Amino acid sequence: MYAMKYMNKQQCIERDEVRNVFRELEILQEIEHIFLVNLWYSFQDEEDMFMVVDLLPGGDLRYHLQQNVQFSEDTVRLYVCEMALALDYLRSQHIIHRDVKPDNILLDERGHAHLTDFNIATIIKDGERATALAGTKPYMAPEIFQSFVSGGTGYSFEVDWWSVGVMAYELLRGWRPYDIHSGNAAESLVQLFSTVSVQYVPTWSKEMVALLRKLLTVSPRHRVSSLRDVQAAPALADVPWTELSEKKVEPGFVPNKGRLHCDPTFELEEMILESRPLHKKKKRLAKNRSRDSSRDSSQSVSAGPRRPARPLLLALCSLLRRGGSGRRGVRVSCSWKWGAFPGSRGSSLDPSLGYGRCSQLGLRVWVVVVTVGTLYALGSPPAPGPGRACGDALGCSLSHLGGPVLPPAWVLVREMGVSLFSLR
C-alpha cells in the first residue's frame, strides 16, 4: 500500500508555490533511503498533481506529542540515530532539508522514524552556502537568522542538526528549548540566542544532556553536524549502527496498530468544506470532458476539415522491478531517445516518434509511441517505473524534471494542452 499526496495546480500558481513543488519533485526522484519517505510515482490530471509515496501508518511525532506520549531516552536516542543516517545520506546528495521537526518525521508500523516533506529543501554544491530565510522558526538554527539580519556568509548542512537537537529536546520534555513563535522577528531571535541559555532536566542522563548540548551549540563550527560526530558521542557509544541501518533495532515506542494515528478532522473538512473535493473528482472531470468534447464537435462542424494541431507527445518507459530480499524492488536504468516521425518537422519541441529502453539483467524492453493528432496508445507496462509525460504548461514542466508517472492500462493524450489521465 502507498500514501498519496495531492496538490491543486491552480492554488499552487496563486500561492506562488510552483517552484517549490518542482524542486521537491526534482529532489525526491533522485533520492532513496531507508529512513526517508520515498517517492514511487508522480502524475497529474486537469486539476491536481499527485505524488505516491511510502505509506507510514504510525503517524507523525507531532501527533504523538499532542497525545501526551512520554518518550524515553532510549526511544529518542533511536530517533536521533535514524535521523543522523538520513541527514548523512542527504549530505552526500548535497541536500539541506531545512524543515526537520516532529511534524515531518513519520513512524512506520514498527516505530522507525522517516523524514518527509522536501518542499523547502535546497541543493548546494561544494563550497556553496545557502542564504534564504527558510524553515519553521522554532526549529531554525541561529545562523539562518544571523545570515538574514547581517548578510553574513550564509549557512550549510549544520542547520539540520540543530533542528534534530530541538526535536530531541521537545520529545523528552514536551516543549522546545527556546520560546520561539512564528511571529518573532529575526532580529529579536539573534539576540535571544546570544542571551538565553537552554535549561536541562536534572533527571536526564549526563550522556543525553551532553548530546543535546552538542546538537544545540549556537556556533555551527562547534556543533555536532555529521554522522561521525554523532557516532563519537558517549550517549550513542553502544549503538549497533549496522543493525540500526537495516531496521533490526527494535524501537522503544510502537504505535498502536488498532488506532488511526492522525486527526480525521482534516479528512472531514476536505469532504464537507472543500469546493472541489477529491472524492467527487471522477464525476466532475467526466462532466468537463463531455462539455469540451461537445464544444470541439460543434467547432469542427462549423469550420469544416482542418489540419491537425501540433501533437503532444506521451512516452512511457516502464522499469522492470525484481522482488529482492528487501521491501522495495530493484530500480534499473532507463534511457530515452527521440526520433522524427516521417513527414513531421523533426522539431525537438514537436516530436512525433519516441522510443525508450529499460534494461535489467540483460533484458531489454522497447516502448514505441507514435503521435499523430490525438493519440491513443495501447499497452500496459509490466510494472510501475519512471517515465515522461507532457500535458498542459504545468505538466510539461513536470515532465522535464523526469518524474515517475503512474502507468495506465490505456493512456489518452489530448492535444492543445490537456493533461494526462488514465482510463481503466
Q: Please give the positions annotated as active site.
A: 99
**Of 223, 220, 155, 209, residue with least CA distance to 177:** 209
* Residue 295: CA count within 13 A, CB half-sphere: 6
State how far the Cα of 320 lies from the Cα of 330, in Å rounded to an integer: 8
State how far the Cα of 236 lies from the Cα of 77, in Å rounded to an integer: 7
Rg (C-alpha) for the chain, rounded Å, is: 25
Distance, first Cα to last Cα, the chain: 19
422: β partners: 411
One-character DSSP codes across 293-330: HHHHHHHHHHH---PPPPPP-EE--PPP----SSSS--
Which residues make Cβ contacts (< 8 Å) with residue 99, sequence separation at least 6?
117, 119, 120, 121, 134, 135, 136, 139, 163
Angle subtended at Cα 92 by Cα 87 and Cα 98, rounded to the nearest 5 degrees: 40
CA 13 to chain centre: 19
Could you identify the residue written with the cell 547581517?
150
